[in-house]
Amino acid sequence: MKTLKIVCTECNSVNSIKTEVENESILCSQCQAELDDPFPVEVSDESCTTHIIENDIPVLVDFYSTTCGSCMAMYDDYEDAALAFGLTVRFLKINADKYQKVAKEYGVSALPTIIAFKKGQEVNRISRQLSQVELSLWAEDLL
């Protein structure tokens, strides 16, 4: 039986889940939050790093600023794209004005920047506003 490590989006604890359990909400063993909630998650420097390193599923990180027009214009598209992926790709958002450590670590200088990670390794990045279709294709590419 295959198990996947999934970081809880509420309490950031690392769960080992069995992928065969279908059609049932998969709950965090620590806080009972739904691990397969597909909504993009707002993360801090600390939780962002945990998600990047510990998740067995690919992770997308949207580095944004509330004062950046393109970032805010992409907000709904990012959410809509995320909803189609469930527990196959984790969509994260990090406010790069508030949290600068991760942005600095990965050399993010332009906003928005979206970086894709697989098992802790950066596999792709782009620094411009993407449409929902582009975001979906990009995420699909990671599977």
Q: Give the interface with Zn ion as residue ranges (CB under 5 A).
A: 8, 10-11, 28, 30-31, 33
Q: Which of 11, 142 has the CB closer to Zn ion?
A: 11
The residues annotated with a catalytic role in the active site are 68, 71
CB of 59 to Zn ion, least distance (A): 17
Residue 112: asked if its preceding bond is cis (omega within 30°), the reply is yes
CB of 57 to Zn ion, least distance (A): 16
CB of 100 to Zn ion, least distance (A): 26
CB of 122 to Zn ion, least distance (A): 26
Q: Which of 40, 112 has the CB closer to Zn ion?
A: 40
Residue 37: partners with Cβ closer than 8 Å, 6 or more residues away:
9
- CA atoms lying within 13 Å on the CB side of residue 25: 9
Q: Which of 33, 142 has the CB closer to Zn ion?
A: 33
Q: Which of 7, 52 has the CB closer to Zn ion?
A: 7
